[in-house]
């Protein structure tokens, strides 16, 4: 896997590879943020390969299978290898034509039983059109199934040659340590950005360092909010789930935009976009960390990837940290 994008070493003891520090999240390409054009999504994915952004993140729940299918369709059409991570865990019913973006109506729970692990892996292998999944995450931890049991089933997939690396998403530090005792974990995916620094304070980042696990930051641009382009959720499409997200509500968004305005002011002085400065800052916080911003437009993909070459000064890093520390973000993440 070669790329002009800055890279990190990724994997588990005895099986390490090099991956770009900036990957591509697929969720928004298949309907999470309203309507989408499949041809546009295919164009972004192909361009992503062209520029070396060949670490893709999807899940069986993204587009209710469509997220895996479109990734598989594009990756199988190219000679270059694309590293694909996918996830299982959410039990859902595909929505009807009148879906309004409220996922609480169609997601029925989380399942981490061995039977579910194996059945969903088979579906993902078929959707992706591959014989082996590069990185397989538990999307959310099932509170009713010990993580040792779930990861034990995931480890069986590795032994069977159906999965290369294991990952956890939105886990606790304790979850990670318990899971790692069963089988080495290559990645932990968690929300991490200037408006969500929980991994720094809940022990998860420390546990990742301790075990040499890569932290994969999803929503590094705050689901688009930290780009500075969203100032009123009413302008989002009716089936865009962000319309129901607490942080995008009118009573919270006016306060939350203060953080964006502060970052934007620094970005203007530097001559970069707010998105680029945000990503560059996040990458500067931890060595064994990568980001997976999503987009449906090639120009924003190029913009995001270019952030990998921005080196912040100590003063810029400190100034952004001060903004983050004093930001009083309103609203829950979900």
| Residues with a known catalytic role | 62
Looking only at the bridges linking them, the beta strands covering 7-12 and 15-20 are antiparallel
Q: What is the three-state SS of 285-298?
A: CCCCEEECCECCCH
Dihedral of alpha carbons 294, 260, 208, 1, sign: positive
Looking only at the bridges linking them, the beta strands covering 24-25 and 7-12 are unpaired
- The candidate with the shortest Cα–Cα distance to 210, out of 228, 242, 183, 185, is 185
Q: Which residue has the tokens 């400065």?
A: 277
- The candidate with the shortest Cα–Cα distance to 109, out of 98, 93, 122, is 93
Residue 108 CB: number of other CB atoms within 10 A?
A: 11
Question: 167 near 118, Cβ under 8 Å?
Answer: no
DSSP per position, 168-218: EES--HHHHHHHHHHS---EEEEE-BTTB-HHHHSSHHHHHHHHTPEEEEE
Burial class (CB in 10 A: 0-12, 13-18, 19+), 113: middle
- The candidate with the shortest Cα–Cα distance to 270, out of 317, 305, 322, 304, is 317
Dist CA 238 CA 165 (whole Å): 37
Instruction: Count how many Cα atoms sit within 13 Å of the Cα of residue 315 in the half-sphere of its side chain.
Output: 4
């Amino acid at each position: 896997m070669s790329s002009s994008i800055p890279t990190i070493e990724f994997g588990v003891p005895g099986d390490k590879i090099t991956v770009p520090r900036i990957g591509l999240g697929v969720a928004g390409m298949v309907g999470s943020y309203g309507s989408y054009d499949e041809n546009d999504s295919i164009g972004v994915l192909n361009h992503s390969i062209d520029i070396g952004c060949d670490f893709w993140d999807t899940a069986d729940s993204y587009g209710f299978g469509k997220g895996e299918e479109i990734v598989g369709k594009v990756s199988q059409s190219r000679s270059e290898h694309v590293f694909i991570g996918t996830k299982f865990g959410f039990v859902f019913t595909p929505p009807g034509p009148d879906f309004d973006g409220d996922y609480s109506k169609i997601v029925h729970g989380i399942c981490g039983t061995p039977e579910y692990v194996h059945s969903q892996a088979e579906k993902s292998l078929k959707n992706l059109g591959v014989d082996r999944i590069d990185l397989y995450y538990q999307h959310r931890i099932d509170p009713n199934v010990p993580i040792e049991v779930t990861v034990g089933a995931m480890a069986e997939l590795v032994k069977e040659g159906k999965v290369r690396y294991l990952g956890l998403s939105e886990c606790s530090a304790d979850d990670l340590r318990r899971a790692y005792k069963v089988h080495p974990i290559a990645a932990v995916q968690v929300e991490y950005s200037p408006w969500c620094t929980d991994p720094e304070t809940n022990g998860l980042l420390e546990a990742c360092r301790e075990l040499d696990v890569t932290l994969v930051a999803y929503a590094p641009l705050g689901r688009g909010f930290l780009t500075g382009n969203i100032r009123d959720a009413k302008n989002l499409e009716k089936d865009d789930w962000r319309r129901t997200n607490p942080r995008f509500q009118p009573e919270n968004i006016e306060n939350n935009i203060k953080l964006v305005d502060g970052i934007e002011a620094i970005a203007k002085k530097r001559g970069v976009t707010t998105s680029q400065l945000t990503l560059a800052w996040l990458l500067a916080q931890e060595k064994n960390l990568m980001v997976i911003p999503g987009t449906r437009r090639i120009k924003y993909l190029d913009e995001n990837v270019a952030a990998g070459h921005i080196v912040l000064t100590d003063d810029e890093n400190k100034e952004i940290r001060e903004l983050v520390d004093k930001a009083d973000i309103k609203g829950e993440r979900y």
